[in-house]
Amino acid sequence: MDNAAALPLVLDQVVRSDPVSHGRRRLGAAILAAGSLILAAILILQILYKADAIAFGFVTWRPVLYAYLLWAVTLGISQVLRRGEAGARALFVLPAILFIISMVVFPLLFGLYISFTDWNLSSTMGRRLNGFDNIRQMWRDPFYWNALYNMVLYTLAVLVEYAIAFGLALLLHSQIRARKFFRVVFLLPLMLSPVAVSWMVGKSMMEIRFGPVANFARWLGWDTPAFFTDPWFARISIMVMDAWTFIPLMMIMLLAGLQAVPKEVTEAAKVDGANSWQTFWRVVFPLTLPVSITAILIRIIFKLKIADIIINVTSGGPGGATDSVTSFIFREYRDRSNVGYGTLLAMVYLVMIVVFLTVLLNLFGRWMRGYDQQEA
Amino acid sequence: MKVHIYERLMAMQASRRRILKGAAGAGALALGAKGGLGALMTRASAQENLRAEILKIPGVGAGSPTDADWQRVGELCLGGTRQTVQEGEFQGVELTFMGLNNQNLHNFLFRGFLKPWEAYTGAKINWIDLAQADYNARLQQSIATGTVDFDVLEMGAPFEGDVCGKGLASEVPDWVKSLIDMDDYVDYLKAPVGTWDGKLYRISIDGDCHTFCYRTDYYDNPEFAAAWKESGGQGEWAPPKTWAEVQAHSAFLKGKKDPLTGLDAHGFLDPLKGWGGFGFYFLEDRATAYAKHPDDPAWLFDPDTMKPRVNNPAFVRAIQEVMDNMANQPPDQINADPNTTAFQQFLAGTGDMLTWWGDVGASARTSDSSVIGDVIGFDILPGSEDVYNSKTGQWEKLASGANYAPNMAYIGWGVYVMARVDGDEKKKKAAWSAAAHLGGKDISLWMSAYPSGFQPYRNSHFNYDEWEAAGYDRAFIEDYLGSNLDSYNHPNAAIEPRIPGIFQYYSVAEDELAKGYAGQYKSAQETADAIAAAWEKITDQIGRESQIQLYKASLGL
């Protein structure tokens, strides 16, 4: 094909901005202004009405939502009218942006506001700003700090889970009999709901009188196999049940990592005279480190949300020994309708998680870089 | 009636011997009718015929009722509606009904019952079905955000403070009171329950209370009786009447073997683990005998200040007794919630004594997993030789003897109409007509006898002849219902404070009690003080002045 024939085609494909007239721009601005004005007017009216400053208003906030939707439409129209082709392109992302603002940013900001209020749903006084009272209450709340302490222990247990998961992944990666069968069997706990695990394992199999696990422990010589009476034993029992459910998740990720290691590399190591341990420690393990870190991070995120097993099996007991932050917030929010304080606890926990994971990622990143340099 | 009770009753009664016994009874009845009773029967009112007729739907032993049965019962019980409402009078009226969908009962029944009502009156009902776990949050959020979007509400009495106390409910009209014969309610469901500031807001459709269950084989056991005397035990070896005796028996039984199972014997079973606030009822069971003085309707808070009484000597004694009894409990008891103590321990043959709602009795006789069906006895909650008088700050011995105070735990479900219908007379009448239909005297008998989610709550429900005529086992029904009836009509019954957020108080108390039982507080007093401090915070948060006002109103002061 010669260049002369190709040139008109290329020119046709160039997107050129429409010329946007001054009047069209003004129309777009006017439509947006009208939409904004309606939204602002309805919002202010409703705020004043709800604050008892004026006698007329809407029974619910629904009209404000309608005004917001109208404003979103006028924003879209004004984009096209004022910016032409560029505005039309903006329309592709505008709904997504507005959706995120509506469903993520606004609730987050509203949640932040709620967390600085005294809002008990049973209170006749409704919601009241109370400054930093909730933070002060949290600071003095032994239940919250106890739950945070437990979370540290639960999170540390991820390292043990990782070691077990890696071992299982290696086992399933090796040439063992019935490998496919075991892959499915090992994944079964992950398919179970933690609530089902709570009842089947925690409240049935580990039940002191008739549970098969308890009977086995009795057969081994433990007279009173109470798994949830002693605080430390109760914590460990919760950790074991949670680990049993989620180790398969780490295992399957690590197995995928192992399977991605090129065979040539391990074979080369063997040719160079490396034994099995050296091959694993110097070749396979470093190559699966990124997967390992991902698996550990995902598992930590799951662990930080642990609540269902605790709520069902121990209700946080004995004496708060197994309480997690989430199970405590659940009680504070659901059982005690303490919305303001419960939201603050959740917000603080969110910040803690974000900071913790950021620091963890940073540390992992540095460690990885250090490992690479060491290897080099 | 709770569904599992019904199913177990049916399982129990499906024996050949009982069927033959029923047939013999029917034959005797027929003979009696010929021999002179016939004249009496002919004078029986139409209402009695109706009651007998609806109790045959679908018939005891004929399987669980279906929607068709509910509709048929609803149709047959429309008499009250026909008396008070013209056909088609509510044409164009739409009502929204919010209730539960537990076990496919509650709202499911109401739909069936109200279908003929809708057809007759012309009104239309829209339904909001909620799971039990979602109920509290949904109701509280509606109240707190001012979005009450229902006209008729199925609600437990403990929430009356949240609804009636905030002026959200409509007062029961006089025509409804007489139509459904509210005088027939058992005593504790009469005012002040259902009332605020002297105004009535509730139509009861359920009853609840805790009773005392014990093992008769423990007390018929001659070895235990001899050992009890040898050990210097006070009085005869007989079912305990006071909590002091419960404690003594529990300590005595330690180290002995259960006469039925041969396993370790245990005395009273205290649930030591929380149960979403409901676990606190079981500490109350022990405490009411000490804390509920016959001259004082209040027992949980001081009505003038809302100062908690949970750390007074009466409650501290109850907490201390629980702590003392821990040494006699089965292993791992600290992880046993009320459900465990009742259904996994007591019914399975562990423990001599228990407090629970009425359904443990029914399950004991009929559940496949129960081994104590023939060795269970019932009574009202144990009492105390002395009672604490919060006004004088002294322990008192009553001239009448031991103090008893059955715990009316949860009080039961009711139907309420919301105040938002008050502005529209037609809609208001429609809402109350629908509520009255569900709370009618005859339909309530059917709900007591068949799976509905509700227990008997009217004096007329304890007419055992009706149950027997319907096909129920007389001895069992007397046993099952009698223990509840004595509690319901007790003059010193401890009625739950129907103040806003009552389950918040219970929930936080469970947390503190758990710490106390785990030894994290130095004493029962310190545990009780921690609960009281937490309760004070809740009261301040909800609003002390309004709580005082509402608490007084709930007590009828």
Lowest mean pLDDT among B138-142, B143-147, B238-242, B309-313: B143-147
pLDDT (0 to 100) of residue A14? 59
pLDDT (0 to 100) of residue B146? 75
| For chain B, percent of residues with pLDDT exceeding 90 | 60
DSSP 8-class letter at A191: H
DSSP letter for each residue of A77-138: HHHHHHHTHHHHHHHHHHHHHHHHIIIIIHHHHHHHHHTTEE-BTT-TT--EE-TTHHHHHH
CA distance A179 to B380: 62
With an 8 Å Cβ cutoff, are A318 and B543 in contact? no
One domain, residues A43 and A84: yes
Name which of B76, B67, B55, B59 is nearest B108 in CA terms. Answer: B67
One domain, residues A235 and A344: yes
With an 8 Å Cβ cutoff, are A231 and B275 in contact? no
Q: Tell me what the pLDDT averaged over chain A comes to.
A: 89
Cβ-based contacts of A226 with chain B (< 8 Å): 331-332, 335
Lowest mean pLDDT among A159-163, B77-81, B105-109: B105-109
Indicate whether B260 pLDDT > 90: yes
Indicate whether A184 pLDDT > 90: no
Which of A66, A95, A114 is at the close of a domain?
A114
Indicate whether B1 pLDDT > 80: no
Instruction: Provide the residue ranges of all domains of chain B, joining segments of one domain with +.
Output: 3-44, 47-205+413-454, 211-408+493-555
CA distance B517 to B17: 49
pLDDT (0 to 100) of residue B113? 97
Dihedral angle of Cα B240, B242, B248, B253, to the nearest 10 degrees: 30
| Interface with chain B: mutation pick from A117, A122, A238, highest number of B CBs within 10 Å | A122
Select the more confidently predicted residue: A184 or B128: B128
pLDDT (average), residues A246-263: 93
Cβ-based contacts of B517 with chain A (< 8 Å): 318-319
One domain, residues A235 and A353: yes
Select the more confidently predicted residue: B147 or B28: B147
Indicate whether B462 pLDDT > 70: yes
Contact residues for A340 (Cβ-Cβ < 8 A; gap 6+): A114, A115, A116, A117, A118, A119, A120, A127, A130, A134
Per-residue confidence band for B38, with pLDDT thresholds at 50, 70 and 90: very low
Indicate whether B392 pLDDT > 90: yes
Nearest CB neighbour to B504, from listed A208, A314, A337: A337
Indicate whether A127 pLDDT > 80: yes
Per-residue confidence band for B31, with pLDDT thresholds at 50, 70 and 90: very low
Contact residues for B178 (Cβ-Cβ < 8 A; gap 6+): none
One domain, residues A266 and A349: yes
pLDDT (0 to 100) of residue B29? 40
One domain, residues A170 and A67: no
One domain, residues A69 and A173: no
pLDDT (0 to 100) of residue B366? 58
Name which of B428, B453, B412, B437 is nearest B204 in CA terms. Answer: B412
Indicate whether B299 pLDDT > 80: yes
| For chain B, percent of residues with pLDDT exceeding 70 | 89
pLDDT (0 to 100) of residue A15? 57
pLDDT tens-digit readout, A230-253 = 999 999 999 999 999 999 999 999
Per-residue confidence band for A19, with pLDDT thresholds at 50, 70 and 90: confident
pLDDT (0 to 100) of residue A121? 85
Indicate whether B136 pLDDT > 80: no
Q: Tell me what the pLDDT averaged over chain B comes to.
A: 87
Nearest CB neighbour to A337, from listed B140, B274, B348: B140
Cβ-based contacts of A231 with chain B (< 8 Å): 518
Name which of A228, A257, A237 is nearest A162 in CA terms. Answer: A257
With an 8 Å Cβ cutoff, are A124 and B500 in contact? yes
pLDDT tens-digit readout, A69-115 = 999 999 999 999 999 888 999 999 999 999 999 999 999 999 999 99
Give domain status of residue A31, yes or no.
yes
pLDDT (average), residues B89-93: 96
Between strands B407-408 and B494-495, the pairing is parallel
> With b meaning 16 or more CB within 10 Å and e meaning fewer, what string describes A17-35?
eeebeeeeeeebeebbeeb
Cis peptide bond prior to B58, omega within 30° of 0 = yes
Per-residue confidence band for B25, with pLDDT thresholds at 50, 70 and 90: very low
Structure token pair of residue A252: 């399957």
With an 8 Å Cβ cutoff, are B335 and A337 in contact? no
The CATH classification of domain B211-408+493-555, taken from the options 2.60.40.1260, 3.40.190.10, 3.20.20.70, 3.90.1150.10? 3.40.190.10
Number of domains in chain A: 2
Look up the CATH number of domain B47-205+413-454: 3.40.190.10
pTM: 0.82
pLDDT (0 to 100) of residue B103? 65
pLDDT (average), residues B427-432: 97
Give domain status of residue A4, yes or no.
no
CA distance B433 to B151: 12
Q: How far is CA A343 from CA A124, A301, A326, in A?
A: 19, 19, 11
Select the more confidently predicted residue: B28 or B142: B142
Per-residue confidence band for B30, with pLDDT thresholds at 50, 70 and 90: very low
Q: Is B335 an interface residue toward A (CB < 8 Å)?
A: yes
pLDDT (0 to 100) of residue B468? 86
Contact B313, B395 (CB under 8 A): yes
Give domain status of residue A47, yes or no.
yes
Indicate whether A2 pLDDT > 80: no
pLDDT (0 to 100) of residue B16? 34
Per-residue confidence band for B483, with pLDDT thresholds at 50, 70 and 90: confident
Q: How far is CA A90 from CA A13, A67, B527, in A?
A: 20, 21, 62
Cβ-based contacts of B337 with chain A (< 8 Å): 315
Per-residue confidence band for A21, with pLDDT thresholds at 50, 70 and 90: confident
One domain, residues A99 and A146: no
Q: How many CB pairs under 8 A join A and B?
A: 117
Which of A69, A95, A114 is at the close of a domain?
A114
- Cα B421 from chain centroid? 30
pLDDT (0 to 100) of residue B34? 40
Nearest chain A Cα to B279, which residue? Answer: A315
* B323-326 CB contacts, 8 Å cutoff, 24+ apart: B323/B516, B323/B517, B323/B524, B324/B247, B325/B247, B325/B250, B325/B267, B325/B268, B325/B270, B326/B270, B326/B272, B326/B517
Exposed/middle/buried for B368, CB within 10 Å: 0-12, 13-18, 19+? exposed
CA distance A241 to A166: 18
Nearest CB neighbour to A229, from listed B331, B503, B515: B331
| E strand spans, B152-198 | 152-156, 195-196
pLDDT (0 to 100) of residue B32? 40
With an 8 Å Cβ cutoff, are B344 and A208 in contact? no
One domain, residues A102 and A203: no
pLDDT (0 to 100) of residue B472? 75
Per-residue confidence band for B5, with pLDDT thresholds at 50, 70 and 90: low
The A-side interface with B (CB below 8 A) comprises: 60, 118-127, 143, 207-209, 224, 226-229, 231, 234, 314-321, 331, 334-339
One domain, residues A295 and A195: yes
Nearest chain A Cα to B344, which residue? Answer: A209
Nearest chain B Cα to A333, which residue? Answer: B137
pLDDT (average), residues B287-299: 96
Domain span at residue A35 reads 18-114
One domain, residues A148 and A191: yes
Cβ-based contacts of B273 with chain A (< 8 Å): 314-315, 317-318
pLDDT tens-digit readout, B511-530 = 999 999 999 999 999 999 99
Lowest mean pLDDT among B100-109, B246-255, B330-339: B100-109
Q: Tell me which residues of chain B, numbers 489 to 508, contact chain A at a CB-CB cutoff of 8 Å.
A: 500-501, 503-504, 507-508
Per-residue confidence band for A223, with pLDDT thresholds at 50, 70 and 90: confident
Name which of B6, B1, B104 is nearest B367 in CA terms. Answer: B6
Q: Which residue has the tokens 């499911």?
A: B108
Q: What CATH number did the domain enclosing A171 receive?
A: 1.10.3720.10
Task: Give me the residues paired with residue B414 across strands.
Answer: B155, B204
A176 three-state secondary structure: coil
Cβ-based contacts of A126 with chain B (< 8 Å): 144
Select the more confidently predicted residue: B286 or B557: B286
Give domain status of residue A90, yes or no.
yes
Lowest mean pLDDT among A154-158, A371-375, B62-66, B447-451: A371-375
Which of A97, A114, A131 is at the close of a domain?
A114
With an 8 Å Cβ cutoff, are A318 and B330 in contact? no
Select the more confidently predicted residue: B27 or B510: B510
Indicate whether B10 pLDDT > 60: no
One domain, residues A361 and A219: yes
pLDDT (average), residues B149-177: 91
pLDDT (0 to 100) of residue A235? 95
Give domain status of residue A239, yes or no.
yes
- Which strands, in side-by-side order, build the sheet including B152-156? B124-130, B94-100, B152-156, B413-417, B202-204
Per-residue confidence band for B225, with pLDDT thresholds at 50, 70 and 90: very high
pLDDT (0 to 100) of residue A176? 80
pLDDT tens-digit readout, A25-73 = 999 999 999 999 999 999 999 999 988 889 888 888 899 999 999 999 9
pLDDT (0 to 100) of residue B17? 34
pLDDT tens-digit readout, B165-222 = 788 999 999 999 999 999 999 988 988 888 887 899 999 999 889 999 999 999 999 9
Exposed/middle/buried for A163, CB within 10 Å: 0-12, 13-18, 19+? exposed
